[in-house]
Amino acid sequence: MIIADFIQDLADSSYQYKKLPIQSFQYGSRPENDKLRQCLQKQFGNRLPSPDSDRAIAVIPCLENCFLRSMNGLEAIDYLRDSLLTDTSIFWIIGVGQVGWQYLQAISALESYSDHVTHLEKLSGDQLSQWFEAVTNEIDIGFQSSALRSESSENDLNWRTQYFKFLSKESKGVDSVAVQLFLETLQIREEIDKEKENEESSEDDQPPILQAKLPINPSLPSLGGEDVYFLYSLLLHRTLTELQLAQSVGLSLLDVKDKIQALRKLRLVEQQDNLLRLNPAYYPAVYSRLDGDNFLV
């Protein structure tokens, strides 16, 4: 997510702010559950004051990597709350998603230890359009479509403006969802011609190589109770290994492998290397389902 990337950039070990040293929680991959507290303690617990200042800035870009929804999965959070956040010589900057924050607030009351909590605003259509300029300026993409016209009440359409306005609506203004939906709307022009879609275009211009379809959130397929808990754990933690997911839902690793394979076939879950994540395009639908089922979201 944008905020996590920004915080990570801010947390570069060589960076200073007004001569205050910045120390970041660094890890090559998501620490295993029994190593989380040890990692925090090693990097922050024995920190000595800087020679130039008795204060410092400490950064945790993604707090979801510091706990696991399981037995003893909150030891690192308890250590952070009771031993680190009470150190008034350190200014903490911590990034965490909404679902993770709601869970930790209910379990550990972290807000009581925070001077200020900032919630990011949803990205508007104009903001998304500007954000995607690096791509759309390099690649010829057509945004006009009969489907987009039918969704708009305006007679004089700016296709690009209307497309990103609709993308903002469908993605709920969440950056990762918008990226996924944007990618999924792109079609090669030849494929559209073969489908004989009735697209409007200028007679003087050559048709663009790529055409963006109307962005629409996919609907959730029929899900069982275990499926919902799987998706909740992935939404809560952002990324998990199969073993960590098994610990989180309380099932055997073999059962988790079978279930994940089924969810991948449904395109609900993606895997990169050994990390699993919820397909961002399904975030809004999964969030709505979890909210309706009274999960902490």
What is the overall mean pLDDT for the chain? 83
Q: Is residue 218 part of a domain?
A: no
pTM (predicted TM-score): 0.81
Choosing from 190, 212, 234, the residue where a domain stops is 212
What are the angstrom distances between the C-alpha of 290 and each of 64, 181, 228? 18, 21, 8
pLDDT score at 3: 47
Q: How far apart are CA 19 and CA 8, in angstroms?
A: 19
pLDDT digits (tens, 9 = 90+) for 33-62: 778 888 888 878 765 445 556 788 888 988
pLDDT digits (tens, 9 = 90+) for 116-162: 888 889 999 999 999 999 998 888 888 887 787 777 766 656 889 99
Name the residue with higher pLDDT: 16 or 297. Answer: 297
- State the amino acid at position 179 in one-letter form: V
Q: Is residue 43 part of a domain?
A: yes
Q: Is residue 240 part of a domain?
A: yes
Choosing from 212, 244, 261, the residue where a domain stops is 212
What is the pLDDT averaged over residues 283-295? 93
Name the residue with higher pLDDT: 10 or 162. Answer: 162
263: CATH: 1.10.10.10
Quick check: 219 pLDDT over 50? yes
Range of the domain at 22: 2-113
User: What total of structural domains would you count in the chain?
Assistant: 3
pLDDT score at 1: 43
Question: What residues have CB less than 8 Å from 136, skipping those under 6 apart?
Answer: 160
Choosing from 159, 182, 212, the residue where a domain stops is 212
- Find, among 109, 123, 254, 138, the residue nearest to 179 by Cα: 123
Residue 41 is given by DSSP the state I
Q: Is residue 120 part of a domain?
A: no
Do 103 and 145 belong together in one domain?
no
